[in-house]
Amino acid sequence: MTTVLLTGATGFIGGAALAYGLSRDPDIRWICLVRGNGMAQARTRLLENLVRFLGAEAAREAILRVEIVVGDITVPASLEDRRLDAVTHILHLAADTSFRAQEHCHLVNVEGTRALAARAGRMPHLQRFLYGGTAMICGGNPPPLVRESDAPAEAAQHLVPYTRTKVAAETMLRHEFADLPVVMVRPSIVTGHRTLGCIPSSSIFWMFRAGDRLRLVAGELAGGIDVVPVDWTAEVLVGLLTKPALAYDVYHLSAGEAKRTTWDSLAAAFERCDPQGSPRRYGRFDDGDWKTLRSRFQAVFGLDQPIKVAMLRAMRAYYQFSTLGVAFDNRRLTDEGFALPPTLSDYLPVCLSAPANLSILDQFADDLGMFDGAPMVQENLVQAKPVAA
């Protein structure tokens, strides 16, 4: 019997993966490691997340098929539950994804992953350990088309400490747990859902709306951004987890060159959804031109509340990532038979309409935890360091 251990099920991608996985194959046993102050709270937290993807009634039914281990990857004792001895597949998506809290990112993303991997080494039936990384481990100076083999590069500079901890986790897994059947999966930017829009989460989507309002995009105006929807990500993750044999041990989960969202198409899609009477024209944000960004932001949103200041700071971080203008090669994925994702322009209408009447600021508030107190990323370039084996 396939028994999956899922970490991160209360999160954006983990919730989508669980909702999809439960609907796809009724014979898979799902065990979720969930943080909580006891079983009741952990169950409530997981249910709340499933409701976002499935609705209340279906979520209440679905959760009956999930076993919960109350635990935390940074607390190795909580991974000792004997049910984990039966695990055949691990989908490890738990992480601290914030752009701040450098030490906490390291604790969760490196030390927590190390604790889970050590426990996985004592799972006698384990066939696959899918580790959720990020394509952004390419660092701050990547080639225009990043291939899986390009990263991690030890000398890479990083825009935020978070991506550096994801490099460290991959390096640690390769060096210290070479015997485990680890497959790295590296999503690019995950935002929105093809049918639910932003109901499950507004994560990062507010940034596209805000950029549209500022009429300002980073990088080449003729360029674009590699972004994928969460439900496609979930389908690919569950597919890679359960496919009997895989040709590679690292995969980008990305739009690639073919499905990168171009700024032109995004402007046209916004115009169709929110007509302003003439074609929208985006201007180019030049890397480091924070004055222009700030003055444009002030004119459009104002800077009269702390949350707006936080939003401006968060936009700076995303503009820096966006300036890279990269696409992440996904030929490995298509070679495995997975369909390409849609572009964001294709599913923008549903993201704008569901849920209805949520302001950009409301949507940013959803993401605020990622940025609150974040240092200015430009002053924060950090060197990738291999983890001692």
Residue closer to ligand NAP by CB (options 34, 267) is 34
**Phi, psi for residue 14 in degrees, rounded to 5:** -65, -40
Cα first-last separation, the chain: 34
Residue closer to ligand NAP by CB (options 90, 95) is 95
**Phi, psi for residue 253 in degrees, rounded to 5:** -110, 90
Sign of the alpha-carbon torsion through 212, 214, 220, 226: negative
Shortest Cβ 237–ligand NAP spacing (Å): 9
Residue closer to ligand NAP by CB (options 115, 216) is 115
Residue closer to ligand NAP by CB (options 70, 293) is 70
Shortest Cβ 119–ligand NAP spacing (Å): 13
Cβ atoms of 350 and 194 closer than 8 Å: yes
List Cβ neighbours of 319 (8 Å cut-off, separation of 6 or more): 218, 285, 287, 293
Residue closer to ligand NAP by CB (options 10, 261) is 10
Shortest Cβ 257–ligand NAP spacing (Å): 18
Q: Cα separation of 128 and 5, whole Å?
A: 11
Identify the bridge partners of residue 34 per DSSP, sorted by sequence position.
70
b/e map of 327-348 (b: 16 or more CB within 10 Å)?
Answer: bbbbebbeebebeebbbbbebb
Residue closer to ligand NAP by CB (options 180, 189) is 189
Count the residues in the chain: 389
Shortest Cβ 299–ligand NAP spacing (Å): 29
Task: Give me the residue whose beta carbon is nearest to ligand NAP.
Answer: 11
Cβ atoms of 194 and 342 closer than 8 Å: yes
Q: Which residues of the chain form contacts with ligand NAP (CB under 6 A)? A: 7-14, 33, 35, 72-74, 93-97, 108, 112, 132, 134, 166, 187, 189-190, 203-204
Shortest Cβ 118–ligand NAP spacing (Å): 15
Shortest Cβ 78–ligand NAP spacing (Å): 8
